[in-house]
Amino acid sequence: MLPVPGYSDVFFSWIEIRDLGFPLHGFLLYLASDHNFPEYLDGDGLGDLDYWTRDDVAIFVVHAPSSKWIEYAREKNHPWWTLFGQRWSCDEELSSLMREHGQSDVLMIDGHHASMRDVFAPALNEYQHRDEIGGILDKFGLAPQDHPCLIFFRDLADDVAWRVSLRELVGTKLHDLRQALQSWFAGDDFRRLLKEAAHDHARKTHT
């Protein structure tokens, strides 16, 4: 799972991304109004999708990662950290404070306690916006209304891509949304797509 500010970050880092050796790549695209996708990604979504896809597929999502994700990626030397993590990382002094006191309440916002981790998490609105999602949809020849969805491709230069509509999941409760996505990534369609991509990747590697 690779959270990015937008398509240009993937485009300009494509050589490095391609060299990581993922047989399949993809985008998870949704708008802020596609509830409960933003809420899920703000919570456990990044970790879930990263675990379900492992080293098989690099999925990009236009989303500002939480400080918790940044810490995890750095400690695990996750590919995301190598490619994109530095721009979102805190300095060493702040990182140390986050590790020690990240869950501690530091202020009250609209009647809700906010922890240090919440306060220093990157702003979402700066990165996730309609124009960016629309540009990615357009790049793959899709309409502005074709969200939320998953788009899979082998190489950014390829003319072929596979779209999986997730529109029926808009408004789904968080627990049910998680179950639906988990079932899809455990299902036959994803396994078949991954098998074809792995076969193609192996053929290109040995020629």
Cβ-contact 59, 148 below 8 angstroms:
no
Q: Supply the Cα-derived Rg of the chain in whole angstroms.
A: 18
Cβ-contact 52, 185 below 8 angstroms:
yes
Domain assignment of residue 98, yes or no: no
Domain assignment of residue 105, yes or no: no
Angle at 108 between CA 102 and CA 111, to 5 degrees: 130
Most distant CA atoms of the chain, gap in Å: 62
Domain assignment of residue 46, yes or no: yes
Number of domains making up the chain: 1
Share of the chain above pLDDT 90, in %: 59
CATH value at residue 193: 3.40.30.10
Question: Does residue 110 carry a pLDDT above 70?
Answer: no
Domain of residue 165 covers 2-64+124-205
Please report where in the chains the tokens 């179950």 appear, as a residue.
179
Tens of pLDDT, residue by residue over 147-168, are 999 999 999 998 889 999 999 9
Torsion of CA 121, 127, 130, 136, to 10 degrees: -130
**C-alpha to C-alpha distance for 154 and 185, rounded to whole angstroms:** 17
Q: How far is CA 95 from CA 68, 133, 199, in A?
A: 10, 31, 42
Domain assignment of residue 107, yes or no: no
Tens of pLDDT, residue by residue over 163-186, are 999 999 999 999 999 999 999 999
Domain assignment of residue 116, yes or no: no
Domain assignment of residue 53, yes or no: yes
List of residues 6+ apart from 155 with CB closer than 8 A: 18, 25
- What is the CB neighbour count within 10 angstroms for residue 165? 11
Domain assignment of residue 22, yes or no: yes
Domain assignment of residue 115, yes or no: no
pTM: 0.80
**C-alpha to C-alpha distance for 99 and 88, rounded to whole angstroms:** 16
Tens of pLDDT, residue by residue over 1-58, are 999 988 999 999 999 999 999 999 999 999 989 999 999 998 999 999 999 998 889 9
Tokens of 197: 């991509």
**C-alpha to C-alpha distance for 205 and 22, rounded to whole angstroms:** 12
Give residue 92's pLDDT band: very low, low, confident or very high (50, 70, 90).
very low
